[in-house]
Amino acid sequence: SKILYKEDVAVIRFSDQTSKVCVNKQSLQLHELADVLGDIWLYRSSKSVVLISGKPGCFLAGADSNMLQSCTTSEEVTSLCEEAQKLFRRIEQSRVPIVAAIHGSCLSRGLELATACHYRIATKSKETVLGTPEVMLGLLPGAGGTQRLPKMVGLLGAFDMLLSGKNITADEAKKMGLVDQLVDPLGPGLKSPEERTMEYLEEVAVGVANDLANKKIPLTREKKLWDAVMGLGPVRKMMYSTITKRVQKQTKNLYPAPFQIIECVKTGIEQGSDAGYLAEAQSFGKLVMTSESKALIGLHNGCLLCKKNRFGPPEKEVKKLAILGAGLMGAGIAQVSVDKGFTTILKDTTEDAISKGYEKVYKSFDTKVKKKAMISFERDAIMSNLSIQTDYSGFESADMVIEAVFEDLNVKHKVLKEVEAVTPPHCIFATNTSALPIRDIAAASKRPEKVIGIHYFSPVDKMQLVEIITTDKTSKDTLAAAVSVALKQGKIVVTDGPGFYTMRCMGSLFMESLRLLQEGVTATKSDFLATSFGFNVGPFAVTDEVGVDIGLHISEMLCKAFGSRYEGGSLEIVKTMVEKGLKGCKSGKGFFLYGKTKSVNPEVEEILKNHQVTAPSAISSEYDMQYRLLSRCINESLMCLQEGIIASPLEGDIGAVFGYGFPPMHGGPFRFVDTFGADRLVSLMKRFEDVYGNQFTPCQLLLDHAKDPSKKFYESSPSLLQY
């Protein structure tokens, strides 16, 4: 930290930040801060203090998750927390008023420091966000966050922040009482807007610090309505119980952190600060050691890695995109493309289809305008990147064509040939097929090295993952270009060799659920087996959402590719459902009926009468049924790594969690095997194999890990290097 005296005010700048987003050198910074403040307190060298970042972009970074993971015991972590708590409590009790001047992100430890100060000023910049995201890493704020926030923003406001981990804008923070004053960011002048804003913020903060020291601004906070509410014991009790019930419902008791957060807040309020701080430091220590937190931190770090292009920049930057098909997927892809500044053509065969597509894209931005998240000028500027048409004009300057037409190989071949006739030689042809092998599509191409699969998930703007699928002919440069486009569209990218990783794994789970259905286990029960393990939705609900016809098509392709090993349930059931028009949510009924409440569809029960099988009595416990579903999908993941379809356990885990909703608290199939034990999984699968056959044959990689318990997928920190 650098210190600078402006008359009676000491301005402390956190300067130990080497990049725009702060690099975490947490303990070092805190020691420094303690030393600097210690001198001020001892020598009374200033009447007030301003804390500000030396660089725009971030007030102070949160605790370093790698540093936490290097601790081997809870006690070690607890004592780190206590150190930070002690410093922040000294700041809070400081006789010299301390002002936090915030521009950029003020999260985790940064927010805890800011809330320990006597006054907070934040810029109204879009980049300024405040929050306590620890819960998303399976942790809690361990430097007083659970103790100070309830006093500052009330019990409900604090629970909302602590349990959701959401980012709060400067405006919202001001309304909540989290920030005392806002300043407008400045535009460009002789210096950059960022530098000018920081200087201005500092100037305002110094003024406020002086006023606090001279008592022109009172140090006491005005009483809020919630102070009175907080004073009522029975009301508080009711709040704890309501919130606990809500968290139980949302987390299905699978995540420990939210419950610990409630406990720490409660302890602080009901038993006093000392008990509260102690509970907080101890809970933090315990949480860092949980498998849930390790899994969530692993995913967080993994996402950061998957947001980098490990194939390097492409030879030619992709600037102009053309999208074929303005349906559900095409319009979604157009939306995420224009939003990120790609010049984009959206083409379909009819005027009607393209105007519907255009409307969808427009509406997505217009909704943001209505919600005041965007101004109409921005919406119009973004929309000006989009042109809609029914012919191929403009394709002569396209760098990449993304195809999202009907899922039919003949149609795909037809458009591929048409596109190659009108586009320049460097232009890449990317297909968004759900299940057709990319090499089959590329078979019609004159330049197969330029053909690649970019698999978006629906809804495109919400789903973070994109799978990039190469064939043995796809060039490295095409791969680098496809990854760069998906990253620019804001996606997390995993790359697959021939085959579809996520579809394979999800499909195997579906095939086994079908088998359960034939054995008399209801769709509701099967879905419960998946959701009680932590999936958000079960396999049948997902299929209804995606479309039963699409599910059938994908399953048929997969069964064709993998034969009896992949089978399980009978696809005849699904075929009959499609023939009868039971196509899922889009047709109002599928495996379930969607009336006022969701219920099992009796028509499916009727179809099932022709497909019943007797359940082997040896495997009928709920646990067995659950692990029939899970073991197949986990084994399929490992097999994909073994076959080189995916490159690393990390990409496999990210793909599974963000692609088909593998429960995040387990970290993904690979981390799950590490935690659960490969040997345990193998012995379960062998038992199932004896009864059902080769669907349950453990793959070699799983067997290898079972044989040698010291073998782990995550031995050291996660890496994207080839496995």
Q: Considering beta carbons, is residue 410 or 710 the nearer one to ligand NAD? A: 410
Coil, strand or helix: which one is 154?
helix
Contacting residue, 163, 415, 521, 702, with ligand NAD by CB under 6 A: 415
Is 344 in contact with 321 (CB distance < 8 Å)?
yes
* Catalytic annotation present for 467: yes
Contacting residue, 34, 275, 303, 328, with ligand NAD by CB under 6 A: 328
User: How many residues sit close enough to ligand NAD to count as binding (CB under 6 A)?
Assistant: 23
Only segment of 26-34, 192-200, 283-291, 318-326 that touches ligand NAD (CB under 6 A) = 318-326
Only segment of 199-207, 379-387, 427-435, 609-617 that touches ligand NAD (CB under 6 A) = 427-435
Task: Specify the amino acid at residue 669.
Answer: P
Contacting residue, 330, 448, 569, 698, with ligand NAD by CB under 6 A: 330
Measured from the CB of residue 358, what is the shortest distance to ligand NAD in angstroms? 12
Q: Residue-wise over 539-557: b if at least 16 C-beta within 10 A, else e?
A: bbbbbbbbbbbbbbbbbeb
User: Rule CB under 6 A: is residue 347 a binding residue for ligand NAD?
Assistant: yes
DSSP letter for 647, please: S
Q: Residue-wise over 178-209: b if at least 16 C-beta within 10 A, else e?
A: bbbebbebbeeeeeeebebbbebbbebbbbbb
Only segment of 80-88, 89-97, 326-334, 628-636 that touches ligand NAD (CB under 6 A) = 326-334
User: Rule CB under 6 A: is residue 329 a binding residue for ligand NAD?
Assistant: yes
Question: Contacts from 254-258 at CB under 8 Å and sequence distance 24+?
Answer: 254/292, 254/534, 254/663, 254/665, 255/138, 255/292, 255/665, 256/138, 256/287, 256/290, 256/292, 257/134, 257/135, 257/138, 257/139, 257/140, 257/287, 257/292, 257/293, 258/135, 258/163
Position closest to ligand NAD via CB: 327
Distance CA 106, CA 114 (A): 8
Contacting residue, 30, 182, 323, 405, with ligand NAD by CB under 6 A: 405
Q: Considering beta carbons, is residue 62 or 330 the nearer one to ligand NAD? A: 330
Write out the two tokens for 486: 């998906």
Contacting residue, 24, 197, 385, 433, with ligand NAD by CB under 6 A: 433
Distance CA 675, CA 66 (A): 19
Only segment of 297-305, 321-329, 531-539, 558-566 that touches ligand NAD (CB under 6 A) = 321-329
Residues 6+ apart with CB under 8 A from 332: 360, 456, 458, 459, 460, 461
Contacting residue, 54, 193, 207, 327, with ligand NAD by CB under 6 A: 327
User: Rule CB under 6 A: is residue 491 a binding residue for ligand NAD?
Assistant: no
Measured from the CB of residue 225, what is the shortest distance to ligand NAD in angstroms? 47
Is 388 in contact with 346 (CB distance < 8 Å)?
yes
Measured from the CB of residue 547, what is the shortest distance to ligand NAD in angstroms? 7
Distance CA 27, CA 368 (A): 40
**Alpha-carbon dihedral angle through residues 224, 229, 232, 235, given to the nearest 10 degrees:** -160
Measured from the CB of residue 398, what is the shortest distance to ligand NAD in angstroms? 14
Contacting residue, 69, 273, 458, 675, with ligand NAD by CB under 6 A: 458
Contacting residue, 121, 279, 306, 324, with ligand NAD by CB under 6 A: 324
Residues 136-195 interacting with ligand NAD (rule: CB under 6 A): none
Residues 351-390 interacting with ligand NAD (rule: CB under 6 A): 353
Angle at CA of residue 586, ends 573 and 557, nearest 5°: 45
Among residues 467, 567, 636, 651, the one annotated as catalytic is 467
Write out the two tokens for 99: 């002002």
Contacting residue, 254, 411, 600, 615, with ligand NAD by CB under 6 A: 411
Residues 544-583 interacting with ligand NAD (rule: CB under 6 A): 546
Measured from the CB of residue 389, what is the shortest distance to ligand NAD in angstroms? 10
Contacting residue, 125, 146, 210, 434, with ligand NAD by CB under 6 A: 434
User: Rule CB under 6 A: is residue 214 a binding residue for ligand NAD?
Assistant: no
Is 178 in contact with 117 (CB distance < 8 Å)?
no
Only segment of 265-273, 323-331, 471-479, 488-496 that touches ligand NAD (CB under 6 A) = 323-331
Distance CA 286, CA 521 (A): 39
Footprint of ligand NAD (CB under 6 A): 324-330, 347-349, 353, 404-407, 411, 415, 432-434, 456, 458, 546
Catalytic machinery residues: 467
